[in-house]
Structures are given as structure tokens and as C-alpha cells.
Chains A and B, each alone.
Chain A
Amino acid sequence: MLTDLELIEYLERLRLENNLSIQEITKGIISRRNYSRYISSECPLNIQVLTQLLKRIGIPLNEFICYITNKKILENLDELLFHELIMQENYVKAYTYYQKLQNKQLQSNFASKSIPMGINLMLFKMNLISLDEVKKRLTKILNLDEIINKTIINDDEIEAIYIFIRIAEVADKEKILKYFLNVLFDSKYIIISNFLDKSKMLCYLITLKILIEDQERFNNDLINNVIKSVLDCKNSIPIHYEFLLFELIYKYLNKKQIENKDVTYRYALLNICFGIRQVNMKDFNNFFECLQEKGFLEK
């Protein structure tokens, strides 16, 4: 957690980066002596003084908060790389970063749930702990019932649930589905996240994964409504997750024999550009027909 001293140190870094003297930023706010007392931790900082000093530097509080967060990101790169590898199910590579995380206090936004859960899931995938053990550990860290009783969810909790559904029991998946339908479609529910676009799209991905993987148990209208909503959503998501979303939707529509040229085009485009799966001749032809219609084949 950030201490007063760290905050004042970050403020001091900004003052120096902007070539401002202590007098220039403290004039009319606090005495130079008091500023020195903040720096030496003799005197606790309060929000009012901090915001006034930032104003003098010409930087809003939210930018200052981002500044600190970014510094923390840059100081804890291994944590984030490990986490992203777990999110993308690349457990073998994640293991190489895991060794750097051992005996280190986790600092990132995912330190509370996602990373500890990722570590345990990775240990299971590497055959170092049993399925029963990983279920027990993940359930304990996640505390699903506590999360779904709230109308507010943060990015760490969303990503932790995305990890959890890989080993979750049917009953837990049902709870998650019910909760995420509320998160997505009931305005009472709030997501707080550093990257709101990614978090929102992960909520869709989790919801669709549960719905489509066990589609016989759910109403087609519900699935179709979620698909329509996600396709209308313009939020940006990293390619890995975009591919997973389109693959789920493409396969579902195919199985139900529902034609959707845009989905077929986008899924073929993803496969062509990223070389993930092979594309059948019908989809391939559809892809070039769409390019033609868009006017993209003109010389």
C-alpha cells in the first residue's frame, strides 16, 4: 500500500521533473519548512494539501494517481506478465515468471485474488497439485459468495472469476452466470477497473463461455440476446480475447445454423491474420465477397 512518504516522494519527483522550486509550489499553500517536514515524514500529509500542491504543478489528481500506478506497473512488470500468461492459459511460460514472484510481496492490482489464484491453477496444470487441491485453494481465495452479494465488482475480481471458471463446478458456474447477467444488463451494478473496456468484455466472455459451453440447459433467446449485445458493443479488447469471443459465437451460430456474414467474416479474418485455425472454403469465399462489397479489393 502507498504510504504518505511514497506519495510525497512521487510529488517531489514530479516537482523536479517540471523544474519547479519548492517555493514555487508551496507559496500560499504551506511553508517551505512544512514541505520539508512532509518529505522527512515528520508531518502526515492530507488530501487537501496534496491536491493544492498538484494544482500548482499543473497536474490533476487523477493524472497523479495514474502516475503512481504507472510507476508501480513499471516496477512490477513480472507480476503483470505472469498474470497475462495465466489469463491466456500459457502455464508453462508463466512458470518461468513464477520463480521471480516467489518470496516477493505482490504489488499490482491483481495481487489480491487473480495472481494467487493463477499461481495455484498453474501448479495444478503443471501436475504439482491435485484437482481437488486446486479447487479448494481457488474457492478459498476467490470467495465467490462474497463477490456476488455486492453490486460493485473490480477488475481483479473479474479476472479472478475468469480464471476460476476453468475448474468451477456447475453450481458455481450458474451463480457466476446469474451474477454477470446482472453486471452486464442491470445499471445498478458497477464495474470499477483501470481498463474498463477490457473488464466489460471479459464479463461478456465469461457469460458466453458458460452459456454456450452448456447451451442445452439455457434458453436460445437468452444466448442470442447476449450475442447481440456483445456484437453491438464497441469496446476494445486485446486480440486474444476477441478471438475467443468470436470463436464461441461463430461455433454457436454454426451449430444452430444461423447465418451471420459479419461474424463469419470477422472470424475468418482473425484466423487469416493470426494463423490460429484453418478456414473452410465457404467461409473463405464469404471473406473475399465481403472485401469486395466493402470496396477493399480495388487496386
Chain B
Amino acid sequence: MLTGKRLFREIMKGLIFMIVNNEYFQVLDELRKLKNVSVSELCEGIISERTYYRIINKNTILKLSIFMKLLKKLNISLVQFSNFLESKYNLGFNINQFIYLVHTQNYQNIEKYYQFAKENCTSKSMYDLMVKAYVKKYEYLQNMISKNEYISLLTQIINDFPNKSIYQIAVFCLFIESNVDVDTRLIQDVAMQILNVDFSLSLLLAIISLDTFIYTIIDKDTLSLSVKSKLIEKFLFYASFIPNKEIELKSYFYKAYLNKLNNQSIEDNLLCYLYKIFSYSDLEKYRNEKTKIEKIFNIDLIEFIKTKSQKIIK
């Protein structure tokens, strides 16, 4: 029987078909106990207590609708149920976390997520292919593989995708980010794909892909201003649903850029974005961002912060 670590591992691997109803149900029963709800309270109006115990003893196939009703009675959503598995077993790995840490280049505590992603996302499923691309990005940034090797692996991964999907778009974004010689037509094609695709499958991947793509092309003339604006609008739309400081701050950066395109003042939004870069403890990351900001907005960053901060002195 799959329980605990193995149950969660199987879910994360996508080998979820191996998990039968009973294991889901046992986790649900555990939640029932943690919530101090009796079996009779939980079952009331949904299934008989006898059926409940029969499911626990593996004798009955559980209909999804019944499972959902029982979760609802416990006031737990499907997402919370999935999150519970992670927090309960405290396995310290999470693919989304790995992708997020690679994207933000925050490598503290990343090793366990990297190992998990590397060992478990090895199939040719679209999801695993995308994760593999992020594994390669991390290895490249850590000088474990060369840039040429990284680009060549990304090309191979892109070709392995059976069809277009948000996962393939995510890998295209990495490819464009890594490759300065990329064909203009490819950039334009990916931009159109990003604008037309429904990212509901993963808001985090939407944000990260959009951010990777926009930040790569923002100071280049490859795309029209109108396409750049639409991409930024899409980023801002998805960013508004994710309560995350880094994403919120990046929104200010892109708002400032939109203001610049529309000949409006950039100062307020840019000042908000500076909270991000002045919070860094890494001088190299700070220098890279400073250079990019000064180029895009044509300002002297130090003079800018000195002037703006004067206005707030008591």
C-alpha cells in the first residue's frame, strides 16, 4: 500500500494512476480526525457509516463525487487536500518551488528540490519535459554544464514535445532567454503563442514564462511596442492572483515600462520596484539589475533614489 512519502512521491511524479481510491480515502480519514469530526457527522447526508468503513477496508470503489462531498464537508478544497499531503509529510520537495527558486535565482535550500526534480521527472510527459528544462537551467547557472550544452539540451527537449502546450512555451522562453542569436521569427511566434494560450493549468508557470520572456526582450527591438504592451498586460493580469512579493514588485517594473511607452511618468512605479533590488544582499545581482534599469529607463539609479528619498524625510 502506498502511504506517506511514497503516496506523495507518486503524485508528484505523475504516476498517480498507481494510487487507488483507498489511499486517498485514508488521507481524508486522517484529515477528519485532525479536524475532530466524527464519522457520523462526516457521512451524514452523503454516505452511510457502513459504506465509509467499507471504503476504508478497501472493499468499495469511491466515486469522485462522494470524495468531493466529503472533502467539502470537512471544509477542505481539492487544492488544500493536495497541499496537505505536502505539509503533512514534510518531504521538503516541490516541483513548483524548484522552478520558482531557479527563476528567482534563489539557491538557498534549493538542493533538495533539485535532486527531487532530477530524479523524478524523467518521463517524456509534457510536464516532466518542462521540469527537465528547469533542471538543465539550474545546472547551467551552477556551471555544471556549458552554455552550448544547455542550449542543445533545450532544443532537444523542445523537439520531444508531442504538441504545443504551456509546458512547451515555458521551455521556448528558456531557450530565448539563453540564446542571444535566436531567430526573430521564433521570438515573434512565441510571443503570439503566449498571448493566445490559456495558462489556467499553472498560474505560476504563466507568470514565470511571461517574466522570463518579457525581461529578455524588453530592451530589444524584436517585437512591436503593441505586442510588448499586451504581454505586459497579461503578466499583470496573472500577477494580481498570486500573493507573492517578488511577483508584485516585478509588476511595478513592468508598469513603469508601460508608462514609459505611453509617455507617462515612470517614477512612482520604478521607485516601488527598487524595493526589490535594494533588498538584495547579493552585490552581483544588484549590479546586473542596476545596469538593466539604467539602460531601459535612461536614468542614474543612485541619483534617482537620492532625489526621491529626500522627499520623505521628516
Chain A residues near B (Cβ < 8 Å): 1-4, 7, 14, 17-20, 44-48, 50-52, 54-55, 58-63, 65-71, 73-74, 80, 109, 112, 149-152, 154-156, 190-198, 234, 236-239, 242, 266, 269-275, 278-281, 284, 287, 291, 294-297, 299
The CA-CA distance from A59 to B95 in the complex, in Å, is 13
Would you mind naming 23 contact pairs between A and B with Cβ atoms under 8 Å apart? Answer: A4-B64, A44-B64, A45-B65, A48-B17, A48-B20, A55-B17, A60-B14, A60-B127, A66-B201, A67-B200, A69-B79, A195-B243, A195-B244, A196-B87, A198-B243, A269-B278, A271-B312, A273-B274, A278-B312, A284-B313, A294-B281, A295-B286, A297-B302
Contact A46 to B21, CB < 8 A, known contacts A60-B127, A154-B80, A296-B278: yes
Contact across chains for B126 and A59 when beta carbons are under 8 A apart: yes
* Residues in chain A near residue B102, CB distance under 8 A: none
Contact A154 to B68, CB < 8 A, known contacts A191-B87, A192-B87, A266-B279: no
* Residues in chain B near residue A269, CB distance under 8 A: 275, 278-279
Contact across chains for B87 and A272 when beta carbons are under 8 A apart: no
Residue on A nearest B313 in the bound complex, by CB: A284
Other-chain contact of B15, A46, A55, A74 (Cβ < 8 Å): A55
* Residues in chain A near residue B108, CB distance under 8 A: 234
Contact A194 to B79, CB < 8 A, known contacts A14-B201, A44-B65, A46-B63: yes
Is the CB of B218 closer than 8 A to any CB of chain A? no
- Chain A proximity mask over B53-76: 1 for CB below 8 Å, otherwise 0: 000000001111101110010011
Is the CB of B180 closer than 8 A to any CB of chain A? no
Is the CB of B224 closer than 8 A to any CB of chain A? no
Other-chain contact of B14, A45, A55, A190 (Cβ < 8 Å): A55
Residue on A nearest B78 in the bound complex, by CB: A65
Residue on A nearest B30 in the bound complex, by CB: A152
Contact A60 to B16, CB < 8 A, known contacts A47-B64, A67-B200, A194-B83: yes
Is the CB of B1 closer than 8 A to any CB of chain A? no
Contact A154 to B313, CB < 8 A, known contacts A3-B65, A4-B64, A66-B203: no
- Chain A proximity mask over B243-258: 1 for CB below 8 Å, otherwise 0: 1111011000000000
Contact A74 to B201, CB < 8 A, known contacts A190-B87, A192-B76: no
* Residues in chain A near residue B67, CB distance under 8 A: 47
10 A-B pairs closest in CB distance: A58-B125, A60-B14, A273-B275, A278-B314, A152-B34, A58-B126, A70-B200, A51-B16, A198-B243, A52-B17
Other-chain contact of A112, B13, B75, B246, B278 (Cβ < 8 Å): B75
Q: Size of chain B's interface in residues, with CB distance under 8 A?
A: 78
Is the CB of B308 closer than 8 A to any CB of chain A? yes
Other-chain contact of B163, A18, A51, A52, A68 (Cβ < 8 Å): A18
* Residues in chain B near residue A14, CB distance under 8 A: 201
The CA-CA distance from A256 to B6 in the complex, in Å, is 50
Is the CB of B105 closer than 8 A to any CB of chain A? no
Contact across chains for B279 and A281 when beta carbons are under 8 A apart: no
The CA-CA distance from A80 to B241 in the complex, in Å, is 8
Contact across chains for B127 and A192 when beta carbons are under 8 A apart: no
Residue on B nearest A71 in the bound complex, by CB: B200
Distance from B307 Cβ to chain A, minimum over Cβ atoms (Å): 11
Distance from B211 Cβ to chain A, minimum over Cβ atoms (Å): 15
Contact across chains for B84 and A192 when beta carbons are under 8 A apart: yes
Of B24, B34, B243, the most chain A CB neighbours within 10 A belong to: B243
* Residues in chain B near residue A234, CB distance under 8 A: 108
Contact across chains for B313 and A279 when beta carbons are under 8 A apart: yes
* Residues in chain B near residue A45, CB distance under 8 A: 63-65
* Residues in chain B near residue A195, CB distance under 8 A: 242-244
Contact across chains for A154 and B75 when beta carbons are under 8 A apart: yes
Q: Which B residues, 158 to 207, have Cβ-Cβ distances below 8 Å to chain A?
A: 162-165, 198-203
Is the CB of B77 closer than 8 A to any CB of chain A? yes
Is the CB of B222 closer than 8 A to any CB of chain A? no
The CA-CA distance from A111 to B305 in the complex, in Å, is 42
The CA-CA distance from A125 to B242 in the complex, in Å, is 27
Q: Which B residues, 255 to 306, have Cβ-Cβ distances below 8 Å to chain A?
A: 268, 271-275, 278-281, 283, 286, 302, 305
Distance from A66 Cβ to chain B, minimum over Cβ atoms (Å): 6
* Residues in chain B near residue A149, CB distance under 8 A: 36
The CA-CA distance from A294 to B284 in the complex, in Å, is 11
* Residues in chain B near residue A46, CB distance under 8 A: 21, 61-64
* Residues in chain A near residue B148, CB distance under 8 A: none
* Residues in chain A near residue B34, CB distance under 8 A: 150-152, 190
Contact across chains for B278 and A47 when beta carbons are under 8 A apart: no
Contact across chains for B312 and A279 when beta carbons are under 8 A apart: yes
